[in-house]
Chains A and B, each alone.
Chain A
Amino acid sequence: MACHGQELAAWLFPFDIRGVVDPVSVPLLTTVGVVVGAGLAARRNREFRRPRGGFNSTSALLGAGVGFAAIVALGCPTRLWLRLGYGDGTVLLPIVGLVLGILVAVIVMKRRAGHV
């Protein structure tokens, strides 16, 4: 999601970002497709909710953090697991990191809930 999103973002904003991304001539619409596909599924099964509530800055900050970290971590969770399935050893340690991060978050959640 992050990598194809980055390609799309680079296509939308074709300013020079230090040659990070090859000149993008064609947009990768995977991320847009996921949103549209999910929307279709939700509508067909009457699970679509009209967006309510305005801009949520906490969510935006979390998104920014995850987006940034995903590029540095060689990919978003989807890509890390996919590359693990491919047999790419370079994601082995990032996968361990991802699992640890989730574990810590769960421990924090449990502490907050009161039962250690």
Chain B
Amino acid sequence: MFEAVATFVAGGVIGYLGQRSRMCFVGGLRNWLLVRDTELLTGLVTFVVSAWLGFSLLASMDLIKVRPLGGSVAQVDDLSIQTTISTFVGQLAASPLTVVIAVTAAATMGFLSVQADGCPFRQHVRAGQGDSRAWSYLSGFYIGVLVAGPVVVLLAPKAGSGT
């Protein structure tokens, strides 16, 4: 129950700020590459730097454990799909093919996100603003997300992790 409330409130704050700032995790690079507009790109850089500072601060207070580069991220993933991510990350180190698949998927995601005029976060914000195209996008998005889970398990070579 705590997680439900906490994520809803955090999401609400992030959504509110996202609407005001028009933050987009794809649009920053797109606008810069397209018309050399740095407004959204500044937001993206600030986001990454803030995350870095925030994680460092939490780690210095011993609230989280920061793993070395390439280590498991499961430590901060308490609220998330641990099984998929941790097995997949395990594969990543073991199998170069998985890396190729992940990178290809990321490139596809970037390409399609530009076509859709915004990253998934931006689409959620647009939906909140009453954009019917964003609602159509989200309906597809959740189907894609739901289908992808089992496919990832099928794709990934069998790992010994039984978490």
Contacts and interface: CB of A to CB of B under 8 A. Distances in A.
Contacts of A87: 52, 55, 66-67, 69
Interface in B3-39: 3-5, 7-20, 25-26, 29-30, 33-34
Contacts of B101: 72
Given A37-B16, A63-B144, A3 B85 contact: yes
B144 A68 contact: yes
A80 to B, nearest CB: 7
A56 B60 CA distance: 48
Interface string A63-94: 11111111111111110111111111110011
Nearest to A15: B146
A53 B8 contact: no
A71 B20 CA distance: 28
B115 A105 contact: yes
* Interface of chain A: mostly helix, strand, loop or mixed: helix
A4 B11 CA distance: 10
Given A33-B7, A63-B137, A68-B145, A96 B103 contact: yes
Given A4-B7, A70-B120, A73-B109, A41 B16 contact: yes
B121 A97 contact: no
Nearest to A28: B7
A31 to B, nearest CB: 6
B114 interface: yes
Contacts of B93: 90
Contact of A19 (B33, B76, B83): B83
A69 B112 contact: yes
Interface in A34-69: 34-42, 45, 47-57, 59-69
A32 B34 contact: no
A111 interface: no
Contacts of A66: 109, 112-113, 116, 120, 141, 144
A35 B11 CA distance: 8
B4 A26 contact: yes
B19 A41 contact: yes
Contact of A77 (B7, B26, B143, B151): B26
Interface of B: 1-5, 7-20, 25-26, 29-30, 33-34, 44, 47-52, 54-55, 66-71, 73, 76, 79-85, 88-89, 92-93, 99, 101-116, 119-121, 123-155
Interface of A: 1-7, 9-10, 13, 17-22, 26-42, 45, 47-57, 59-78, 80-90, 93-106, 109-110
Nearest 3 A/B pairs, CB to CB = A33-B11, A101-B110, A85-B51
